[in-house]
Amino acid sequence: MTRPSRSLAESAVSAVSQRSLSRTVDAVNDAVFQRRRWPAATRRTVAHWIAARQGLPGAYADTFAGFPSERAGGIVLFTGERVTSASARHILGEEASRTLRQLAVRDRLVTGALDRADEGLMRRLTQWTSDRGRGNPGTFCCGKCTVGLWRNLVAGGLDRQDERLRRGVEQLRASRDGKSGWRKHPFWYTVLALSEMDFKAAANELRYCEPRLRTAAKRGTHSGVYAERRHQLASRVLDRA
């Protein structure tokens, strides 16, 4: 893997926004998506900054707190969809947890923050699946939050990852809208999660949405970072089909 240049490392550190957890998470996700490896010192700096947000006021289930502007206006997901309110707080907690796992910094500060976040998320997940009589351990309150849960599970978060992912994805078939998408799940965010899974139900859903992916992959111009990411994602999924 190509070693990042000094300018890339410096830009990674500067991507730690003092006023936006979601933008910091996005910067890490972009490096992972583009298969760029940050130097250990950069990863440690970013991981410690994210870990320090754990349990602060506004954090969902003792995970990682966004800033007041993010709690008021919501966040933009890696694939460009906007989420607001409790969904934004929950997904940001799942995504920040995933990001810390991707950064692979294993020291007391980071692992302690991750453990506490996992405990908080597991309490909420247990309440949802047990106290409310929900039988599927791979789903959460809505389609958006369910995909956020999957993203954390794929990275190794929480427990029973294989079971939760398989059973969660299996219910996607019932949510198909007949137009290569799903009624309850944001299209591109869902494709992003499915693209990291390796089992039959996930492959079936990616095959189902191929017509929409082919349309996106054929577009010659891409205005903006989210359009470019969607184009790359569509092309990667189709290339491996």
For tokens 């919501």, the residue is: 74
Structure tokens belonging to residue 87: 């969904």
Residue 22 lies in a domain: yes
Residue 86 has what pLDDT?
96
- Residue 157: name the closest of 95, 202, 221 by CA: 95
Residue 1 lies in a domain: no
Residue 174 has what pLDDT?
95
3-class SS at 151? Answer: helix
Residue 123 lies in a domain: yes
Domain hosting residue 145, numbered range:
6-240
CA 82 to chain centre: 13
Give Cβ neighbours of residue 225 (< 8 Å, ≥ 6 apart): none
Residue 209 has what pLDDT?
98
- Residue 147: name the closest of 189, 180, 204 by CA: 189
Give Cβ neighbours of residue 111 (< 8 Å, ≥ 6 apart): none
For tokens 């870990």, the residue is: 51
Residue 27 lies in a domain: yes
This prediction's pTM: 0.92
Residue 2 has what pLDDT?
37
Phi, psi of 28 (to 5 degrees): -65, -45
Residue 6 has what pLDDT?
42
3-class SS at 54? Answer: strand
CA separation for the pair 187, 237 (Å, rounded): 14
Q: How many domains does the chain have?
A: 1
Per-residue pLDDT of the chain (241 residues; tens, 9 = 90+): 334 444 444 444 565 777 899 999 999 999 999 999 999 999 999 999 999 999 999 999 999 999 999 999 999 999 999 999 999 999 999 999 999 999 999 999 999 999 999 999 999 999 887 765 667 899 999 999 999 999 999 999 999 999 999 999 999 999 999 999 999 999 999 999 999 999 999 999 999 999 999 999 998 766 899 999 999 999 999 999 7
Residue 129 has what pLDDT?
79
Residue 162 lies in a domain: yes
CB atoms within 10 A of CB 166: 17
Residue 223 lies in a domain: yes
Residue 42 lies in a domain: yes
Residue 157 lies in a domain: yes
CA 142 to chain centre: 15
